Structure 1
C-alpha cells in the first residue's frame, strides 16, 4: 500500500478556501481491515502531535458499516439534480425566502439571514454537509464550491467502478484518537473509507473541528 503524495488540484483548493476534511489516497491496497486501520492512522497523524495516541483496537471494536452512495452523500445533496443543497430557510436581499435551495441558486445573491439544523454528532453519513459547512464557511462562490465538490467526488467515487464505502463514524471516535475530540463539541466527527477493488485504491476521509 502506497500513499499518493500528489492529489488533483481541487483538493488543495478546497483546503485553501477553508475546507476542513482531511483526505488521504492509497494505491495498491488490498482493502483489508488491517490496511484500512493503518491508512486511517496515517491520515490522522499530520494533524496531531507526534506522541498522540491512536487506538486501533478501539476503532476495530466500534466497527464500521457498509453504506450506499446516497447515505454517504447525505441530505445536503440532491441526487436528482446532482447538486449540493443549502439546507434550511434562507432570506436573500430583497426579502426573498428560499427553503432548501440548490447551492448554485445562491450564486450572485446576498444571504441576509438564515438557519439550518445539524445532525447529531457521530450519527454518520452526510459527506456533502461536512464538505460544504465548516464552522466559518467556505470562502468561495457557490459555483466554485460545486465544481470542487464534483471534481473531488468523481475522483474518490469513480463512476466506472464499484466502490465499497464504509462509515466508521460514531460517538466513540474520541476514544480512538484526540483528532476527534474537537468535533465532539458540536460540529461533528466524520470517518469514511472508500475502497475500489478494480483499481486497488483506498481513500480515507476524516473530519473533526470546532470554532
Structure 2
C-alpha cells in the first residue's frame, strides 16, 4: 500500500516481534506505515487507520475460513465486513495517558501488572502485600489490551520480565514512549469488532511517533 506519502512498512525486526507477541498469546493486530511528510496530521492518521483495518480484516477473514475448512465445516464463514468508509469524523485525538491507560506510569516508564489474586504490582517491585497497588480506575487501554488478553498469555516468567517485554516492544515500535500522538477510531466500522464487544473489548488506535516518523495502526477484538 502506498498513498499520499504514506507507505506500508516492511520491517523485519518489527514483523518478528509481532509474531513473537502472538506466539506468547497476545491478540493485538498491528500494522506500521512510514510517511514522507514529517508533519503529523489527522489525514495521515486516517490513512493509517484505513490501511490497518483493510489489511487486518482481509487476513483475519482468510484465516477463519481456513480454520473452518480444516475443521470440516459444511459452510465457511463470511468475510468480515466494513460497514462504512472511515472518515475524519470517525477518529479523535486522545492524550498519551488515555492511550496507555492507568497501568502505565510514564515518568518512571513503569508498568502495573496483574499478578497474584488479581492484584496489581509495579513490574520492577517485589510481589509482597505492601507493594500491591489499588487502581482508582481501570479503563481498558493499550497497556491492558497488550498484556491482558481474554485468555492466558505469557510474556515472561515474572512480572519484571513481562514489564520489560512490553517496554522493549514499544521502544522497537515507537522509538520512544514519550511524545507520541494517538487517535482512537470508531469500532462500529466493521463486524470484526463484534466479538470484543461481548466482553473483553474492541480497540482501534493509530499512533504517530515523531522520533521515527512511523504511523502504527493497532486493532483488537477478542473474546472467550
> Normalising by the residue count of structure 1, what TM-score does the alignment of the two structures yield?
0.73
Moved over 4 A (4+): 115-118, 197-200
Q: Which runs of 5+ in 2 are unaligned?
A: 1-6, 38-43, 63-77, 129-133
8 A contact 1:4–1:24 mirrored in 2: no
Q: CA RMSD in A?
A: 3.3
What's the counterpart of residue 72 of structure 1?
Answer: 99
Instruction: Pick closer, same or farther for the CA change 1:56–1:27 going to 2, 3 Å.
Output: farther
Residue 201 of structure 2, aligned match among 156, 165, 188: 188
CA distance in 2, matches of 1:106, 1:136: 25
- 1:48 shift after superposition: 1.8
Contact 1:23 1:204 in 2 (8 A): yes
In the alignment, what sits opposite 1:10? 17
Q: Tell me what 1:100 maps to.
A: 120
Tell me the TM-score normalised to structure 2 length.
0.69
Is residue 44–residue 206 contact of structure 1 (8 Å, CA) maintained in 2? no
Structure 1 pair 52–143 and aligned structure 2 pair: CA distance change class (3 A): same
C-alpha deviations, 1:108-167, integer Å up to 9, x for none? x9xxxxx99864xxxxx6100001111123223223322221122113332398542111
2:144 pairs, out of 129, 144, 150, with 129
* Distance change (3 Å), C-alpha of 1:29 and 1:7: farther
Tell me the CA shift for residue 74 of structure 1: 0.5
Mapped partners of 1:118, 1:48: distance in 2: 31
List per-residue Cα deviations over 1:14-40 (Å, max 9, x = no partner).
Answer: 111101111111223652534531333
What residue in structure 1 maps to residue 60 of structure 2? 47
Mapped contact 1:20–1:134 kept (Cα < 8 A): yes
Cα distance in 2 for partners of 1:45, 1:55 equals 14
Confirm or deny: 8 A CA contact 1:73 1:127 kept in the other structure: yes
Q: CA deviation at 1:194?
A: 1.3
